């Protein structure tokens, strides 16, 4: 599983001119799922996201997690995170899971994040054409691949 985590002062997701997710302070997370992703990957990634100390404390030092900051999360599925671009100029998405495999993993990640954060996780809609808007705060952007845990 690959995740792009962005600290935001605001973010939203719109589908067919309808805003489906909208937050102020928090994280906008893009997640790409592959067939090898497991329950262990879900738990590890959720814990890592919730406990990342990337929000500023009173001294302006990144030392506070999204949970401690009282922030919100938008989680958006994005198979293009698994694009392979070694050969040619047209990306290959062979490593990205097909919807029948990816949707259950995505739904489990949502539930795990909700459990770990203790509040509702807003989302886009799996497979939809989404317009994602954000104001990256910092900018702070962290990339995590669960296959590189060590």
CB 113 within 8 A of CB 49: yes
pLDDT at 149: 80
Q: Of 23-32, 66-75, 80-89, 108-117, which gets the smallest average pLDDT?
A: 80-89
Tokens of 131: 């317009």
Distance CA 83, CA 76 (A): 16
What is the percent of the chain where pLDDT is above 70? Answer: 99
CB 57 within 8 A of CB 65: no
For residue range 127-139, list pLDDT tens digits in order: 899 999 999 999 9
pLDDT at 86: 87
- Whether the per-residue pLDDT at 121 is higher than 80: the answer is yes
Q: Please, what is the end-to-end C-alpha distance for the chain in angstroms?
A: 14
Domain boundaries, the chain: 2-148
pLDDT at 46: 98
Is 80 annotated as catalytic? Answer: yes
Catalytic residue of the set 25, 80, 123, 146: 80
For residue range 35-50, list pLDDT tens digits in order: 999 999 999 999 999 9
The architecture that CATH gives domain 2-148 is 3-Layer(bba) Sandwich (3.50)
- Whether the per-residue pLDDT at 88 is higher than 90: the answer is no
């Amino acid at each position: 599983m690959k995740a792009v985590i962005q600290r935001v002062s605001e973010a939203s997701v719109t589908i067919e001119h309808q805003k489906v997710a909208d937050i102020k302070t928090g994280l906008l997370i893009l997640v790409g799922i592959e067939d090898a992703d497991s329950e262990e990957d879900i738990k590890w990634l959720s814990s890592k996201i919730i406990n990342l100390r990337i929000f500023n404390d009173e001294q302006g030092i990144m030392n506070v997690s999204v949970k401690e900051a009282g922030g919100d999360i938008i989680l958006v599925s994005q198979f293009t995170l698994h694009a392979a671009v070694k050969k040619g100029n047209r990306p290959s998405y062979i490593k990205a899971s097909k919807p029948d495999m990816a949707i259950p993993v995505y739904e489990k990640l949502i539930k795990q994040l909700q459990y770990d954060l203790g509040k509702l996780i807003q989302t886009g809609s799996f497979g939809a054409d989404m317009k994602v808007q954000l104001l990256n705060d910092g900018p702070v952007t962290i990339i995590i691949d669960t296959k590189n845990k060590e």
